[in-house]
Each structure stands twice: as structure tokens, then as C-alpha cells.
């Protein structure tokens, strides 16, 4: 059995007097053979230029032991910075090689966010919110407790899955379109209307309710209400009526007719011939057409209640659906080829995002009172631009220009 002894006085034991095991035991275990090729520990501590950390792998940092002062040649070496138990690569070989003690890496420094970038993002968010608010800027108080849903641009009312489809527009907007039935002195009048407040304010044509003794309104869910006239403007063929004891109605979104272009696809919803919720589609055929209609109440009753249900108007020097009479007014209108028939008056002309862009007001049908062989739309319909309606709402709430 081979044993290895340290020469007395060759190395100082830094742990002398402590209860710990010396870093270099005087005698190895009998079962540990002496490796003659293993180098003895250095007589002096290796020079260390600085106590800078040495990173050996991610998450682990090794700090060399600090020397309190330079070690002179021949002086005892302080091995306090080495592993005291001789573990590491020197273990099992007489503890001849000591390892630098590994120090766990401290927490990674927190990365500070650039405050300038945060401020910029916040400013962008505020601007975006302002633009979004501008898109639905026209929230106007009507009754002091309700409001009109109005848009300065094109708000997407139709669900994204059905955007741009006639069926999507019909599903989204039909609940906001009503049928209007007026009882006249010489008969009755049937038209349509657009709900603009949840408590029952409805925009329609003046010629639909002019001279009416009673007005009944049916919503898309089959409910019937009695309505009263709030205000009329015969010069623009507009009227505002209000349902009695109504609440929770689906409000239409009023769009921006100034943004409409020729060729835009549109949908018309109304109650032609009393067929509630009829949907047709087409395009905008022209803009700013001069349409002339009668302002005479008796003329209105003759047109609406006289049997053929036609509302006379004049366009391009020609009269359609009868005589407009001597008391007339002219307004700018959108022209559409969407099929419009008697009963569509007061209904909605809608863009493909579900915004109301016009109130249907005049349409030409080749039918006459004696024959129905050529009845039906011939693709000549007109709608009052919705911006004209929005500009007139305040006057209509106050009774209208006819009061």
C-alpha cells in the first residue's frame, strides 16, 4: 500500500485550528493511489490582474478570490479562495488542484423602456381614438335623452362576415325601417320611414303623411304604434314623426351622402304596395339631380290616395306620375336604378356598409290607373341625400318650416 506524505512545513494549512477539513490533508485515504504524473500545487498563488468576473456559461459567474495584498515569493500562500474540501477536478487525486468558487449570477438587469417611445405610442393611440370618434361624430341630441347615430364617413354596420353583401345589409338595417300608413280625407297613403332614435323618432317623406288624420306605424317585428307629426318641410319633402310609448327600437346609422360616388352599390328597403321589408338593390346612377315635387297638400292627397299611389314629380323638363301642380319645390337628389315602387317613399337608400345615404322620395312607374300591363320600376328612382336630412333635423324637431 502506497501512502503520500506532505513534507512538514512545505505548505501552511489555512484552516488550522478550525473544525473544517484542511484544503490539503496530510494523509490521503489508503485506497487513493498516488498519481506520480499529477502536478503538485503551485508554491505561490497565480498573479491576478483584477477581480473581474469570468462568465463560464449562461447563468453562472465565477469570481476569482481576492488577495488582500501581493504575495511575496517564499511567503505562505493563502488558499482561502479555493475549495476547502478539495472537491472539483482535483478530488480523488490528493486534492492537489483547487477550483475557483462559483458564485450564482445575480438577477439580470431590468431593461428600461424608452420613455420617448412610450409617449409616442400613447400619442398615436389618442389620435386614433379621436379619428374613431370622428367617424361617429354626429351624435346629436334629439329629445334630451336620446340620440341619432350619425357618421361623418362610412361606418361598418354590417358584420364583417357579410360585409359588402345585400343579405348582410338587409339583415343589419331592416329592423330600422318601418311601414307608415296614413289615413287621409279621401283615402289612405302607404309609405316607409327610418328610425333615428330608440324612442321612436322617424324620418319619412312629407307627401306620405301630408294631410293625415291618423298615422299608424308597423316595425319589422310586427308591432304597431300610433304616431304623431313632429314637423314637416314640404320644400324638401321631409317629415319627422314620433311613435307613442315606444322604446328600445333599433336605430339606423345616418351616413355621409357627400362621399357617395356614381357606380356605388346600394340597397333600398321599404314597403312597396304594402309589402313590408321589401329589399332591392342597384347602383347610384347619378348625383345632384334636380327633382321637382308639389308642395300642395291637396296634390299630395290626390297622388297618394287617388288610387294609383303615384307621387307626381318633374325631372328633366318632364312630368312623371301625373301633374305636379303650380306650387312646387326643387331639391337635389341621388339617382338610383334600385327598384323603387309606390310605398318605397320615405324608405332608406343604403350603402354596402349599412349606412343610410338617402331617403327614397320619387320613382317613376309606367303603370297608369287603367292598366297594369306595364307596371313596375323602370330604373328611375330618386332619394333625398341624407346630409340634407341631417341638416334639417333641428328645424323638423321644432315643427319644421311649414309650421
Kindly state whether residue 169 falls inside one of the protein's structural domains: yes
Q: Rounded to whole angstroms, how far apart are CA atoms 241 and 232? A: 9
Kindly state whether residue 116 falls inside one of the protein's structural domains: no
Of 104, 119, 150, which marks where a domain is finished?
104
Residue 163 · residue 218 · CB < 8 Å: no
The residue behind cell 505562505 is: 76
| Residues 88 and 185 placed together within one structural domain of the fold | no
Kindly state whether residue 50 falls inside one of the protein's structural domains: no
Kindly state whether residue 34 falls inside one of the protein's structural domains: yes
Residue 317: the pLDDT is 81
- Give 7's DSSP letter: P
Residue 236: the pLDDT is 94
Q: Based on the number of CB atoms within 10 Å of its own CB, is 265 exposed (0-12), middle (13-18) or buried (19 or more)?
A: middle
| Residues 99 and 217 placed together within one structural domain of the fold | no
Kindly state whether residue 28 falls inside one of the protein's structural domains: yes
| Residues 100 and 144 placed together within one structural domain of the fold | no
Q: Rounded to whole angstroms, how far apart are CA atoms 303 and 299? A: 6
| Residues 97 and 151 placed together within one structural domain of the fold | no
User: Among all residues, which ones are annotated catalytic?
Assistant: 207, 237, 345
| Residues 173 and 314 placed together within one structural domain of the fold | yes
| Residues 197 and 310 placed together within one structural domain of the fold | yes
* pTM of the predicted model over 0.85: no
Rg value, the chain, Cα: 46
Residue 272: the pLDDT is 87
| Residues 84 and 183 placed together within one structural domain of the fold | no
Residue 57: the pLDDT is 60
Residue 13: the pLDDT is 52
Residue 371's CATH number: 2.40.10.120
Q: Which grid coordinates are listed for 50?
A: 483584477
Nearest to 217 by CA among 244, 248, 184: 244
| Residues 198 and 281 placed together within one structural domain of the fold | yes
Kindly state whether residue 71 falls inside one of the protein's structural domains: no
The residues near 135 (Cβ < 8 Å, ≥ 6 apart) are 151, 152, 153, 155
| Residues 95 and 173 placed together within one structural domain of the fold | no
Kindly state whether residue 146 falls inside one of the protein's structural domains: yes
Give whole-number Cα distances, 218 to 97, 192, 196, in Å. 99, 9, 15
| Residues 176 and 311 placed together within one structural domain of the fold | yes
Kindly state whether residue 402 falls inside one of the protein's structural domains: no
Residue 119: the pLDDT is 59
Q: Rounded to whole angstroms, how far apart are CA atoms 403 and 392? A: 14
Q: In the chain, how many domains are there?
A: 2
| Residues 90 and 196 placed together within one structural domain of the fold | no
Q: Rounded to whole angstroms, how far apart are CA atoms 96 and 119? A: 61
Residue 329: the pLDDT is 85
Q: What is the pLDDT along the chain (403 residues), one digit of tens a residue?
A: 444 445 444 545 554 544 555 544 454 444 455 555 666 666 666 655 555 555 556 655 555 554 444 444 554 544 444 444 444 444 444 444 444 444 555 565 565 555 655 555 555 455 544 444 334 334 444 444 456 776 555 678 999 999 899 999 999 999 999 999 999 988 889 999 999 999 999 999 999 999 999 999 999 999 999 999 999 999 999 999 999 999 999 999 999 999 999 999 999 999 988 888 999 999 999 999 999 988 776 655 544 444 445 678 887 888 887 778 778 889 999 999 999 988 999 999 999 999 999 999 998 866 544 444 445 566 789 999 999 999 999 999 999 887 6
| Residues 233 and 289 placed together within one structural domain of the fold | yes
Q: Rounded to whole angstroms, how far apart are CA atoms 267 and 279? A: 7
Q: Would you state the torsion angle of the CA atoms of residues 369, 375, 379, 385, taken in this order, to the nearest 10 degrees?
A: 50
Strand-pairing partners, residue 266, are 282, 351
Nearest to 390 by CA among 297, 286, 282, 252: 252
The 3-state DSSP class for residue 371 equals coil
Residue 208 · residue 239 · CB < 8 Å: yes
The residues near 74 (Cβ < 8 Å, ≥ 6 apart) are none
Residue 306 belongs to domain spanning = 140-397
Positive or negative torsion for Cα 162, 199, 216, 332: negative
Residue 26 · residue 6 · CB < 8 Å: yes
Amino acid at each position: 500500500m502506497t501512502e503520500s506524505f506532505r513534507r512538514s512545513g512545505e505548505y501552511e494549512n489555512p484552516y488550522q485550528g478550525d473544525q473544517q477539513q484542511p484544503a490539503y490533508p496530510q494523509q490521503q485515504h489508503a485506497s487513493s493511489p498516488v498519481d506520480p504524473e499529477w502536478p503538485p500545487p503551485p508554491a505561490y498563488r497565480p498573479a491576478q490582474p483584477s477581480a473581474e468576473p469570468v462568465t463560464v456559461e449562461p447563468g453562472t459567474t465565477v469570481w476569482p478570490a481576492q488577495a488582500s495584498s501581493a504575495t511575496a515569493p517564499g511567503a505562505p500562500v493563502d488558499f482561502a479562495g479555493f475549495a476547502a474540501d478539495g472537491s472539483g477536478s482535483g478530488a480523488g487525486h490528493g486534492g492537489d488542484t483547487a477550483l475557483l468558487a462559483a458564485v450564482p449570477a445575480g438577477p439580470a438587469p431590468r431593461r428600461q423602456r424608452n420613455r420617448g417611445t412610450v409617449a409616442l405610442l400613447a400619442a398615436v393611440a389618442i389620435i386614433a381614438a379621436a379619428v374613431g370618434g370622428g367617424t361617429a361624430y354626429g351624435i346629436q341630441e334629439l329629445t334630451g335623452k336620446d340620440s341619432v347615430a350619425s357618421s361623418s364617413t362610412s361606418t361598418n354596420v354590417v358584420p364583417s362576415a357579410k360585409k359588402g353583401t345585400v343579405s348582410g345589409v338587409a339583415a343589419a338595417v331592416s329592423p330600422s325601417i318601418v311601414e307608415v300608413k296614413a289615413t287621409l280625407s279621401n283615402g289612405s297613403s302607404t309609405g316607409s320611414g327610418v328610425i333615428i332614435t330608440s324612442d321612436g323618432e322617424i324620418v319619412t317623406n312629407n307627401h306620405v303623411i301630408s294631410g293625415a288624420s291618423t298615422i299608424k306605424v308597423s316595425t319589422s317585428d310586427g308591432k304597431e304604434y300610433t304616431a304623431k307629426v313632429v314637423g314637416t318641410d314640404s320644400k324638401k319633402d321631409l317629415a319627422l314623426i314620433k311613435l307613442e310609448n315606444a322604446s328600445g327600437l333599433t336605430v339606423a346609422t345616418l351616413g355621409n351622402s357627400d362621399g357617395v360616388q356614381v357606380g356605388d352599390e346600394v340597397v333600398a328597403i321599404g314597403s312597396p304596395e304594402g309589402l313590408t321589408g321589401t329589399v332591392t338593390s342597384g347602383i347610384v346612377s347619378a348625383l345632384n339631380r334636380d327633382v321637382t315635387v308639389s308642395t300642395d297638400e291637396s296634390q299630395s292627397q290626390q297622388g297618394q290616395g287617388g288610387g294609383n299611389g303615384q307621387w307626381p314629380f318633374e325631372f328633366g323638363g318632364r312630368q312623371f306620375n301625373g301633374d305636379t301642380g303650380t306650387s312646387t319645390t326643387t331639391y337635389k337628389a341621388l339617382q338610383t336604378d334600385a327598384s323603387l315602387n309606390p310605398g318605397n317613399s320615405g324608405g332608406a337608400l343604403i350603402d354596402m356598409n349599412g349606412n343610410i345615404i338617402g331617403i327614397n322620395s320619387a320613382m317613376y312607374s309606367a303603370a297608369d290607373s287603367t292598366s297594369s300591363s306595364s307596371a313596375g320600376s323602370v330604373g328611375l328612382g330618386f332619394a333625398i341625400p341624407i346630409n340634407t336630412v341631417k341638416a334639417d333635423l333641428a328645424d323638423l324637431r321644432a315643427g319644421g318650416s311649414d309650421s
